[in-house]
Amino acid sequence: MVDCVFCRIASHELGSKIVYEDDSIICFHDINPSAPVHILIVPKHHYTDIMELSSDKQAAAEVLGTVMHAIEKVTEITGVDKKGFRIINNCGFNGGQTIPHLHFHLLGGMKLREKLI
């Protein structure tokens, strides 16, 4: 998508601090980190949010498989696999999503305090 900032990062048109990348996913440092380790895990294909992805169950299984693989890679690379971390997906207006391209936040490197549940 032309006007999508994460599509532009995925195609390398926009720069980012990449931690891990393969054909289907790109993981890079959040520009406004909420923790010492704050990585965005971004499937390259443009899905607006997790609801759009879940409307195609086969695609959802494939994409979420790549997300799991990326979580494994990124936690190893950043070292947060040792002490734990948190994965967050904000979906839509009520979920507080600000960039309408499916992504997951990986937060770690400190004892995370703010817990909703």
Q: Is there a catalytic annotation at residue 103?
A: yes
C-alpha 1/C-alpha 13 separation (Å) is 12
For the segment 95-114, give every residue that binds ligand AMP (CB under 6 A).
Answer: 96-99
Would you state the structure tokens that stand for residue 90, as one six-digit string?
A: 């904000």
Residues between 11 and 30 with contacts to ligand AMP, criterion CB under 6 A: 16, 30
Query: How are the residues of the chain apportioned to helix, strand and coil, as percentages rounded to the nearest 5?
Result: 30, 20, 45
CB of 61 to ligand AMP, least distance (A): 23
Q: Which residues bind Zn ion (CB under 5 A)?
A: 1, 4, 6-7, 46, 101
